[in-house]
Chains A and B, each alone.
Chain A
Amino acid sequence: MPRAESPKLSRRAWITTTSGVIAAGLVKTQVDAIQLVAQEAPGDPTKVPGRLVSELGSRAPTEKPKRLIRAPALSSSSRTPLADLMGTITPADLHFERHHAGIPDIQFEDHELLVHGMVERPMVFRMSELMRYPQVSRIRFLECSGNGGGVYNRERMPTEITVQALDGLLSTSEWTGVPVSTILREVGVRPGASWILAEGGDSAVMSRSVPLDKVMSDSMLAYGQNGERIRPEQGYPLRLFNPGYEGNTSVKWLRRIEVTDQPTHTRDETSKYTDPLGDGTVRQYSLVMDAKSVITFPSYPYVLPDKGWWEIRGLAWTGRGRITRVEVSTDGGRSWSDAALEGPILDKSTVRFRHLFDWSGRDTVIMSRATDETGYVQPTVEQLWEARGTRTSYHQNHQRAWKIARTGEVTFGLGELV
């Protein structure tokens, strides 16, 4: 849901609440009233002793970012409030969720990881043992491959949709854990192995196959997130984390890894997370998240109160390495300008981009497109329709658009272009 009133509404509210002050006849117009109110000093905190220290911090009482819950069901999701956030790191309590059978209640001391299959020594690890291995930390994005699916259908292109509802199945954290390669070295992978099966300890027993090359290169068994132990909804006490891969493969509550010589073809890599391409085929094991960018500001339901200088801000990321370029258009894609990128630009992480523009006050469609280090350019929705047809459900990483109306009202604007 929209989180805040528009600035215009806020001003009216201001005027109403301060009408007693204004009623003395000193103020003739609303503009005068706004200026007068703005000049009044707020309550003076220098004259009141402050609050004491506390064991756990909390947000300022008026700051209430929230995840957007899809449905109160066992298999459901909640989305990160991208428009409320700055920089790239997602606060852990706002990291998106996608559970297939709810959040299991697992004790740190009781949890075990079984590693077996095509290995020299099948082994069981307790959490205390996993934490003794050399520890790595990496800032990486995690995105559900179903993210953005609501803006792919030409006939049902929404206008009043927030960036949270649209693309909030994206979050970025500093993940801490032990490389999968370290543990596979410990158990000794046998020749001929080419995949692993990762299995969760939730009541869906979520199971995904991942290529061995991938997990040996940069996957981790993560037990930390943004400096603390992973939260229950992110897989406490242990999850697989596959950088750059669709989120579902980063199996939460990980309890078993089986080293195999073939994928297992579980439900969530056959009947789900596969892509009918419109030509009689279905793409399977489409694991990498291609480059994508989203403008988080301005976006629906924000209302620009004035023409003039505004900074367009957003996030860009790619599962194939680093973002090298983000371009912004303020004329519906006819011309593009390079946006500034806030470094450091990390491997398989989000990067914040920004572009200063002088809004004329006329109808304007703003867009962004990302390029990654492989040379891949975030496609248009027409390019995806051409390549994959119109009936896929995942990996919809096409360029987004927001329309700024003369009134300053911002709505999702892709429908204006297609």
Chain B
Amino acid sequence: MSQRPYRSSAVANIAVTSLVVVTVLAACADASETSSNGQFASIEVAMPGTAFGVPAHAPDRFGFGVEASEQRVAIWDIDVRPDGVGLPEGSGSVQQGRDIYNIQCIACHGPTGTEGPNDRLVDSEQWEDVPATRTVGNYWPYATTLYDYIRKAMPQLTPGILAPDEVYAVIAYILWMNEIVPEDAVMNAETLPAVVMPARDKFVLDDRVGGGGIVR
């Protein structure tokens, strides 16, 4: 009596499986020696009535995982946007930044931010057609990116050790070396997003679209 449902579902499985196999084999045979296409779409199309990976009878929510508390989100939500969202309290000056730079940054970026061995940070020479270098001064479109990146990834061997005041200060110093802010500048959550980077208006969104038209 338990045989009937088992057998009927087995028959259904065989029918579905053989259909899939036939489709794939046909596609393989055609593909091996021709460059035609179109029929291959059948290989990976989702079953009717289903989204990518989720069958039609799936619930709206599975309920796996736990809701994240505000405190939990705050621990990891450390990105900084061009509009300043994400910047913490604190501030730092060019003068303070010089001292921090000379301890934490100089070994990889050089005494004036131009010597390396790692990325060159400073080039206040602007460009018309194409940049000779790609530095903070002549290429980075947003000053806020400095906070996002330094907080997360710098110094390379001891990432994340700089306090907010120190990050703001070293940014002020790097911007001053690039002749973008004056020597008495102080960076904080209000002043940093207001810095207008020289390359800001050079960036344009990708316009490649594929197709047989002009190469972009």
Contacts and interface: CB of A to CB of B under 8 A. Distances in A.
Interface string A99-125: 011000000000000111000011111
Given A204-B152, A284-B204, A383 B215 contact: yes
Contacts of B2: none
Interface string B120-131: 000000011111
Contact of A344 (B24, B199, B204): B24
Interface stretch (A146-154, A155-163, A268-276, A294-302): A268-276
Contact of B32 (A123, A274, A340, A384): A340
B62 A133 contact: yes
Interface string A138-152: 100000000000000
Interface stretch (B10-18, B87-95, B99-107, B141-149): B141-149
Contacts of B35: 324-326, 338-341
Contacts of A287: 206
Contacts of A136: 52-53
Contacts of B32: 340-343
Contact of B40 (A101, A114, A277, A345): A345
A379 interface: yes
A192 interface: no
Contacts of B62: 132-133, 186
B211 A376 contact: yes
Given A186-B61, A284-B205, A276 B131 contact: yes
Given A125-B64, A276-B131, A284-B206, A346 B152 contact: no
Interface stretch (A20-28, A164-172, A259-267): A259-267
Given A181-B52, A340-B33, A391-B130, A205 B206 contact: no
Given A205-B153, A320-B210, A346 B64 contact: no
Q: How large is the interface on B (under 10, 10 to 19, 20 to 34, 35 or more residues)?
A: 35 or more
Contacts of B216: 387-388
Interface string A184-225: 011000000000010100011101000000000110100000
A322 B27 contact: no
A282 B199 contact: yes
Given A265-B81, A379-B215, A181 B53 contact: yes
Contacts of B208: 286, 288, 290
A46 to B, nearest CB: 35
A278 B79 contact: no
A344 B52 CA distance: 20
B43 interface: yes
A122 B210 contact: no
B203 interface: yes
A210 to B, nearest CB: 13
Interface string B65-103: 111100011001111111000000000000000000000
A17 B208 CA distance: 58
A262 B52 CA distance: 25
A97 interface: no
Contacts of B34: 340-341
Given A178-B53, A265-B81, A287-B206, A256 B76 contact: yes
Interface in A307-366: 320, 322, 324-326, 338-347
Contact of B130 (A129, A220, A276, A387): A276
A258 interface: yes
With a 10 A CB-CB cut-off, give which of A115, A343, A376 has the most chain B CB atoms: A343
Nearest to B146: A267
A331 B33 CA distance: 22
Contacts of A279: 129
A288 B210 CA distance: 9
B19 interface: no
B152 A344 contact: no
Contacts of B54: 134, 179, 181-182, 185
B145 A373 contact: no
A341 B40 CA distance: 13
A207 B194 CA distance: 23
A19 interface: no
A325 B43 CA distance: 18
A386 interface: yes
Contact of A341 (B31, B55, B72, B203): B31
27 contacts: A124-B72, A179-B51, A182-B54, A185-B60, A186-B62, A186-B65, A199-B76, A205-B153, A205-B159, A207-B148, A207-B152, A258-B79, A264-B81, A270-B145, A270-B203, A276-B130, A282-B204, A284-B141, A286-B206, A286-B208, A320-B210, A322-B37, A341-B31, A372-B210, A387-B216, A388-B216, A389-B130
Given A185-B60, A205-B78, 12 more contacts: A114-B73, A133-B64, A134-B55, A199-B79, A204-B152, A256-B76, A282-B202, A283-B207, A341-B35, A375-B210, A376-B211, A386-B215
